[in-house]
């Protein structure tokens, strides 16, 4: 915070590149600085000298009197470095480079940008930009931008953007939708100050109730998660992350790697940080209004009040499609509703007052629903009334909502005929929307934020029985020297790692001949096992074994084991004549059960990304998978299980008995801890993890683990 203090509470500001020409951006910034109401010192610099808005224009930065601790540089890119150096020599601690012409324009611009950063580091000067709009604080007030909005209404929503163009649009949205901004921060190329760094100081502003981010990417993934997580515990953080489909999935040989795209990692990062992600700009500001104006929600039970049955049904569908539920009204509430409504009205939820509903009935019914202990929030529908106006209904219900303890959103259906009701709702800080679906979506955002606030943010310290030192020895031993790629570990090393982290797997031996395979099968209880033995090819070049006949099951006597060994070798050599074969793994067949997959792949931005879902050979076809970032907290583990069919059916389904769900949770947590503890592990996958009946445990039947090259 201290290093950014001069951006957010400067005692004096200098504009380098001020212009007397009203057509220039240097004039627009000067105009905004002087006319926004800023109480600190304002200085102008231009080699031509003169005066502007009754203030002298200095020729050089060194001539500026105190106080000045924030510079705004709006000059051709080629001369920005020299002027930035003068700021450093003058002792100015912070600068906003609003000029374009840097990295966004190509190699020459990138060189200039790097030079600016070098100068800033030399003088301990912090930079916002280049290629940015600047910042606005509506409460201080301070406006360092060239945007054509001098006196913005102060508000509760802070907008932080990596795009300068969208800042002007955001202001227009705010003005049209009736909410004010507390802060607007344009970051531009982020040569120095990043989105992560500005989150805490903006959140510390007492006027800010919600932070809204427009992101094209993040600079340091784990830092973003850390800062956003800290902030979102106190205030909601909403994000619109664009560029979802611009980057293709990375090529990978494991199922986990193949299914883990860049956007999957962002989704997992936002969940871990407690950031609510919107899919559209419309959602972004719809949700921001609700979070800024509504009290916290205490549950997901929603009551709907309407005077039109069809709209009530639409709203009910929207509530359930947003994973909310309709509240069960108490008998007392329904009796109160019957006392004020005609006999034909419906006192079930949705409450349909009929088209004849008066403003007074709206107000009375709303009060009754707010008092119902089973109602956590209300969605009020106001279409164009047949007799009274929407404005009259608004005037009747707004007093009821003055000291509301529960969220209320209004679906003000229509356009011109309800327009007169819009402003009263805005002035009363009651979110209104044109469609029931949008109102329900806003309530869902409130619920998402409430659930994050009640969740755990630190991983549970569950594992005192793991042996990190042994894993480190193995990883040091097998870390590849090849600088181009990592290596898949041999089976014996994988088994030692699983043992160190108490991840159960069946006993197994690596046979180099058919005779050895029979000997090992006998040692594993071939004569006593009702399910027999399984043989699996072991080769670093054969990762999807079943696809080429590299797995044989249910071999119940010595003859079938011997023949099976020869058959597997033949199958593999037919498919991959030059494959390096280490041998054939001999294991007892594990009793039947459910099969899941779990794995992790290291994302370059956010670290290890854990996957869970339906296992077996069809995992990529089914794509019944979910992802979360390690280290997993209990809520994230539950998310993985509840958002996959593989996880849900562990509790039993039709003729499927309940499986050992708690054992799955433990192995998933241990796997997460393993990849978090050891960055050298680039990929690991258990497919399948056989889940036995409840209380009978799990077994990792097939595991592969890849280590990345030494640094």
pLDDT band at 118 (very low <50, low <70, confident <90, very high): very high
Q: What is the mean pLDDT of residues 211-221?
A: 92
Q: What is the mean pLDDT of residues 221-230?
A: 94
Secondary structure, 3-state, 93-133: CEEEECCCCCHHHCHHHHHHHHHHHHHHHHHCCEEECCCCC
Half-sphere exposure (Cβ direction) of 191: Cα atoms closer than 13 Å: 30
Domain with CATH 3.30.470.20 in the chain: 594-707
Q: How many residues does the chain have?
A: 711
Provide the pLDDT for residue 709: 67
Provide the pLDDT for residue 261: 60
Provide the pLDDT for residue 711: 43
pLDDT in tens, 564-592: 999 999 999 999 998 889 899 998 988 88
Centroid of chain to Cα 215: 11
The CATH classification number of 2-208 equals 3.40.50.720
Paired residues of 689 in beta bridges: 596, 700
Contact 610, 598 (CB under 8 A): yes
pLDDT score of 251 more than 50: no
pTM beyond 0.95, yes or no:
no
Contact 186, 213 (CB under 8 A): no
Region for residue 166 given its phi and psi (left: phi exceeds 0; alpha: psi -120 to 50; beta: otherwise): alpha
Candidate from 528-532, 547-551, 569-573 with smallest mean pLDDT: 528-532
Of 303 and 604, the one with more pLDDT: 303
Residue 350, SS3 per DSSP? coil
pLDDT band at 276 (very low <50, low <70, confident <90, very high): very high
Provide the pLDDT for residue 442: 97
Half-sphere exposure (Cβ direction) of 479: Cα atoms closer than 13 Å: 14
Dihedral, 282, 288, 289, 290 alpha carbons, nearest 10? 110
- Which helix (H) or strand (E) segment holds residue 157: the answer is strand 154-161
pLDDT band at 253 (very low <50, low <70, confident <90, very high): very low
pLDDT score of 1 more than 50: no
For the segment(s) 594-707, the CATH number from 3.90.226.10, 3.40.50.300, 3.30.470.20, 3.40.50.1820 is: 3.30.470.20
Look-up of token digits 């007052």: 353
- For residue 376, what are the contacts with CB-CB under 8 A and spacing of at least 6? 297, 298, 299, 300, 301, 302, 327, 406, 407
Provide the pLDDT for residue 464: 80
Mean pLDDT, the chain, whole residue set: 91
Q: What does the DSSP 8-state code read for residue 346?
A: B
pLDDT score of 161 more than 80: yes
pLDDT score of 270 more than 90: yes
Provide the pLDDT for residue 252: 41
Domain with CATH 3.40.50.720 in the chain: 2-208
Q: What does the DSSP 8-state code read for residue 617?
A: T
Provide the pLDDT for residue 479: 73
Q: How far is residue 130's CA from residue 108's CA, in Å, rounded to a whole number?
A: 14
pLDDT band at 562 (very low <50, low <70, confident <90, very high): very high
Q: Is 428 exposed, middle or buried (0-12, 13-18, 19+ CB in 10 A)?
A: middle
pLDDT band at 541 (very low <50, low <70, confident <90, very high): confident
Region for residue 243 given its phi and psi (left: phi exceeds 0; alpha: psi -120 to 50; beta: otherwise): left
Domain with CATH 3.40.50.261 in the chain: 295-453
Q: Which two tokens stand for residue 107?
A: 């190699």
pLDDT score of 457 more than 80: no
Provide the pLDDT for residue 644: 94
Topology of the domain comprising 507-588: Dna Ligase; domain 1 (3.30.1490)
Paired residues of 55 in beta bridges: 52
| Helical H segments across 372-506, by residue range | 390-397, 422-427, 436-453, 468-478, 491-500
Q: What is the mean pLDDT of residues 492-500?
A: 93
Q: What is the mean pLDDT of residues 593-604?
A: 93
Q: How many of the other CB atoms lie within 10 Å of CB of 498?
A: 22
Contact 611, 627 (CB under 8 A): yes
Q: What is the mean pLDDT of residues 221-231?
A: 94
Residue 214, SS3 per DSSP? strand
Provide the pLDDT for residue 150: 65
Q: What is the mean pLDDT of residues 662-690?
A: 94
Topology of the domain comprising 295-453: Rossmann fold (3.40.50)
pLDDT in tens, 340-391: 999 999 999 999 999 999 999 999 999 999 999 999 999 999 998 777 889 9
pLDDT score of 201 more than 90: yes
Q: How far is residue 58's CA from residue 86's CA, in Å, rounded to a whole number?
A: 13
Q: Which two tokens stand for residue 349?
A: 């939820």
Provide the pLDDT for residue 417: 85
Q: How far is residue 577's CA from residue 573's CA, in Å, rounded to a whole number?
A: 4
Provide the pLDDT for residue 204: 95
pLDDT in tens, 377-430: 999 999 987 778 899 999 999 999 998 999 999 999 988 888 899 999 999 999
Give the β-pairing of 210-215 and 154-161: parallel
Look-up of token digits 């006192």: 347
Q: What is the mean pLDDT of residues 290-295?
A: 96
Q: What is the mean pLDDT of residues 59-86?
A: 96
Contacts 24+ apart (CB under 8 A), 86-91: 86/60, 86/61, 86/62, 87/16, 87/61, 87/123, 87/125, 88/119, 88/120, 88/122, 88/123, 88/124, 88/125, 89/61, 89/62, 89/123, 90/61, 90/62, 90/64
Residue-wise DSSP of 36-98: S---SEEEEE-TT--EETTEEEESSGGGPPSP--EEEE-S-GGGHHHHHHHHHHHT--EEEE-
Domain with CATH 3.30.1490.20 in the chain: 507-588
pLDDT in tens, 20-44: 999 999 999 999 999 999 999 999 9
Q: How far is residue 470's CA from residue 329's CA, in Å, rounded to a whole number?
A: 59
pLDDT score of 710 more than 80: no
Q: What is the mean pLDDT of residues 443-457?
A: 89
Paired residues of 212 in beta bridges: 159, 238
pLDDT score of 256 more than 80: no
Paired residues of 659 in beta bridges: 693
Among candidate residues 70, 72, 75, the one with its CA nearest the CA of residue 101: 75
């Amino acid at each position: 915070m201290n290093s950014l203090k001069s951006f957010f509470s400067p005692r004096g500001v200098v504009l380098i590149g001020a212009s007397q020409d009203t057509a220039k951006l240097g004039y627009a910034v000067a105009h905004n600085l002087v006319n926004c109401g800023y109480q600190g010192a304002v200085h102008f610099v231009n080699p031509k000298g003169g005066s502007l808005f009754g203030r002298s224009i200095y020729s050089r930065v060194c001539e500026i009197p105190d106080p000045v601790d924030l510079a705004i540089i709006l000059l051709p890119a080629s001369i920005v470095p020299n002027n930035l150096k003068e700021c450093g020599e003058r002792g100015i601690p912070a600068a906003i480079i609003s000029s374009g012409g840097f990295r966004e324009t190509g190699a020459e611009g990138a060189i200039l940008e790097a030079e600016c950063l070098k100068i800033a580091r030399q003088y301990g000067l912090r930079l916002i930009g280049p290629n940015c709009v600047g910042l606005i604080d509506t409460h201080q007030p301070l406006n360092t931008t060239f945007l054509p909005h001098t006196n913005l209404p102060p508000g509760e929503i802070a907008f932080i953007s990596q795009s300068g163009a969208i800042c002007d649009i955001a202001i227009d949205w705010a003005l049209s939708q009736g909410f004010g901004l507390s802060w607007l921060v344009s970051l531009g190329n982020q040569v120095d100050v990043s989105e992560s760094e500005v989150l805490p100081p903006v959140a510390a502003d007492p006027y800010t109730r919600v932070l809204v981010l427009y992101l094209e990417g993040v600079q340091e993934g784990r830092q973003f998660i850390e800062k956003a997580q800290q902030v979102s515990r106190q205030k909601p953080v909403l994000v619109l992350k664009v560029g979802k489909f611009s980057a293709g999935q990375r090529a990978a040989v494991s199922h986990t790697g193949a299914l883990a795209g860049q956007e999957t990692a962002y989704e997992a990062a936002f969940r871990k940080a407690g950031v609510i992600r919107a899919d559209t700009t419309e959602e972004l500001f719809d949700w921001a209004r609700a979070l800024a104006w509504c009290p916290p929600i205490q549950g997901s039970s929603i009551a709907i009040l309407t005077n039109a049955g069809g709209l009530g049904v639409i709203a009910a569908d929207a509530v359930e499609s947003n994973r909310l539920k309709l509240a069960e009204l108490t008998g007392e509430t329904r009796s109160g509703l019957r006392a004020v409504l005609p006999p034909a009205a419906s006192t079930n939820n949705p409450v349909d007052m009929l088209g004849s509903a008066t403003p007074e009935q709206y107000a009375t019914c709303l009060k009754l629903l707010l008092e119902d202990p089973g109602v956590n929030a209300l969605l009020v529908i106001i279409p164009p009334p047949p007799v009274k106006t929407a404005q009259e209904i608004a005037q009747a219900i707004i007093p009821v909502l003055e000291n509301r303890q529960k969220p209320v959103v209004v679906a003000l259906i229509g356009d011109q005929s309800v327009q007169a009701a819009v402003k009263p709702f805005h002035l009363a800080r009651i979110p209104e929307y044109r469609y029931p679906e949008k109102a329900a979506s806003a309530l869902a955002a409130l619920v998402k934020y409430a659930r994050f606030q009640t969740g755990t943010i630190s991983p549970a310290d569950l594992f005192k029985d793991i042996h990190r030192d042994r894993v480190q020895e193995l990883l040091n031993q097998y870390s590849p020297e090849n600088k181009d790629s990592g290596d898949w570990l041999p089976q014996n090393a994988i088994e030692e790692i699983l043992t160190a982290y108490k991840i159960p797997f069946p006993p197994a031996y690596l046979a180099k001949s058919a005779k050895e395979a029979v000997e090992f099968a006998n040692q594993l209880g071939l004569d006593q096992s009702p399910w027999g033995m399984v043989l699996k090819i072991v080769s670093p070049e054969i990762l999807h074994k079943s696809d080429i006949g590299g797995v044989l099951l249910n071999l119940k006597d010595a003859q079938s084991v011997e023949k099976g060994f020869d058959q597997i070798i033949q199958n593999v050599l037919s498919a991959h004549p030059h494959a390096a074969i280490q041998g054939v793994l001999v294991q007892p067949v594990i009793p039947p059960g459910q099969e899941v997959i779990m794995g992790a792949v290291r994302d370059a931005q956010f670290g290890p990304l854990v996957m869970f879902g339906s296992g077996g050979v069809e995992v990529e076809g089914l794509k019944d998978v979910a992802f979360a970032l390690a280290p997993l907290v209990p809520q994230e583990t539950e998310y993985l299980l509840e958002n996959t069919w593989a996880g849900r059916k562990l509790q039993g389904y039709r003729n499927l008995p309940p499986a050992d769900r708690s054992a799955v949770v433990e192995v998933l947590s241990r796997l997460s801890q393993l990849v978090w503890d050891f960055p050298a592990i680039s990929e690991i996958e258990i497919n399948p993890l056989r889940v036995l009946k409840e209380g009978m445990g799990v077994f990792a039947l097939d595991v592969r683990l890849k280590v990345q090259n030494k640094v």
